[in-house]
């Protein structure tokens, strides 16, 4: 099974139906497959922060969600994490396609990538970097369950080691 099949199947198994996203090249197949599956309500949001607001509202209304984004999108989220997801104890589940490392060709992406883990650590947020297919389902499934039971957000960072990443000639 590919990494994106694992994401889709694990979301489904955990009854996560609402998946707003701001796209990334690496997420293309996952996004296409989510759209093709009537189990999911999936759509683009204009900003990552907006998508976080949407899944937060849905959680409070009894519907589970997750947000898909890339590294530079995560960099826009410090305020909403610190003022909504964490203090209101919302199990925000984020999948972040990692740009900026292991072959990055855009200097700005490589710089913004360096802000991601310090922001997560400064807020003491749970986060994992997925690099291996054989561990991936375990990480995703357990992280979703932990987020929901502990009412705390989690960031699952999808390393180029897992996804292949984006390379210059793509």
Binding positions for other proteins, rule: CB under 8 A: 18, 20, 41, 43-47, 49-63, 65, 79-80, 82-84, 87-90
CA distances from 74 to 14, 48, 63, 65, 146 (A): 23, 7, 23, 17, 21
Token digits of residue 85: 């997801």
User: Least distance from C-beta 56 to other proteins, angstroms?
Assistant: 6
The residues, any chain, with a CB within 8 Å of residue 61's CB and separated by 6 or more, are none
Query: Which residues, listed in sequence order, are joined to residue 44 by a DSSP beta bridge?
Result: 21
User: What is the spatial distance between Cα 151 and Cα 166, in angstroms, rounded to a whole number?
Assistant: 33
133-150 vs 3-13: helix crossing angle, rounded to 10: 30
User: Least distance from C-beta 121 to other proteins, angstroms?
Assistant: 20
User: Least distance from C-beta 60 to other proteins, angstroms?
Assistant: 5
Residue 117 burial (CB < 10 Å; 0-12/13-18/19+)?
A: middle
Q: Which is nearer to other proteins, 52 or 120 (CB)?
A: 52
User: Least distance from C-beta 98 to other proteins, angstroms?
Assistant: 24
Q: Which is nearer to other proteins, 90 or 130 (CB)?
A: 90
Q: Which is nearer to other proteins, 30 or 52 (CB)?
A: 52
Task: In the chain, count H helices and then E strands.
Answer: 8, 7
Q: Which is nearer to other proteins, 62 or 168 (CB)?
A: 62
User: Least distance from C-beta 120 to other proteins, angstroms?
Assistant: 18
Q: Which is nearer to other proteins, 54 or 102 (CB)?
A: 54
């Amino acid at each position: 099974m590919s990494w994106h099949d694992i994401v889709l199947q694990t979301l489904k198994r955990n009854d996560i139906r609402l998946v707003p996203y701001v796209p990334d090249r690496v997420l293309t197949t996952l996004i296409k497959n989510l759209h093709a599956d009537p189990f999911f309500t999936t759509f683009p949001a204009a900003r990552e922060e907006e998508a976080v607001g949407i899944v937060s509202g849905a959680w409070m209304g009894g519907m589970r969600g997750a947000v898909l984004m890339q590294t530079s999108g995560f960099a826009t989220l410090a305020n909403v994490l610190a003022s909504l997801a964490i203090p209101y104890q919302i199990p925000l589940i984020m999948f972040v396609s990692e740009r900026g490392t292991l072959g990055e060709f855009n200097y700005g992406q490589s710089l913004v990538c360096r802000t991601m883990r310090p922001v997560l650590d400064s807020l003491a947020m749970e986060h994992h970097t997925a690099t291996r297919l054989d561990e991936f389902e375990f990480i995703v499934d357990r992280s979703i369950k932990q987020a929901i039971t502990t009412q705390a957000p989690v960031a699952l960072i999808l390393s180029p080691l897992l996804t292949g990443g984006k390379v210059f000639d793509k």
